[in-house]
Amino acid sequence: MSEIFPLLLHTLIAVALIGALLLAAWWLGDKQTNRNKDLSYESGVIPSGSARLPLHVPFYLIAIFFIIFDVETAFILTWAVAWEQLGLAGLLHITFFIVALLIGLAWLWIKGGLEWGPSAAKRKWTKAP
């Protein structure tokens, strides 16, 4: 119990502080409302039009590539730091991991998933039907 007591105390203090701040914000906050208060506000500009703008597929591809390569980098760097402790087994695991990612990248390349943007549009229009 003595080991978990500081964690329980910290959790209790955090919950009490959050509750006190929410109560203070409610009590001290302005209770009046009007039409202008309900408007969205972004950098001092009152919005006009719909915020539902379609994003093109390449935007999502870039986001997914970033996440994949970011996670890959984190795993490889973690493996590199623990290289001496992991030995041959670690080398085999990271090699399998990198090969699996390269196979996925090759499959994506073959399927044409990397062909987008202005150069892909030019190729599409220059191909004979």
pLDDT, residue 10, reads 96
Q: Residue 129 pLDDT > 60, yes or no?
A: no
What pTM was estimated for this model as a whole?
0.48
Q: How many domains does the chain have?
A: 1
Residue 26 lies inside a defined structural domain of this protein: no
pLDDT, residue 109, reads 81
Residue 14 lies inside a defined structural domain of this protein: no
**Residue 71: partners with Cβ closer than 8 Å, 6 or more residues away:** none
pLDDT, residue 49, reads 72
Q: Are 72 and 91 in contact (CB under 8 A)?
A: no
Residue-wise DSSP of 21-40: HHHHHHHHS-----TGGGS-
Residue 8 lies inside a defined structural domain of this protein: no
Residue 4 lies inside a defined structural domain of this protein: no
114 is in which domain, residue-wise?
Answer: 62-119
Q: Residue 77 pLDDT > 90, yes or no?
A: yes
Residue 79 vs residue 64, higher pLDDT: 79
Mean pLDDT of 60-70: 80
Q: Residue 12 pLDDT > 90, yes or no?
A: yes
Residue 115 lies inside a defined structural domain of this protein: yes
pLDDT, residue 124, reads 62
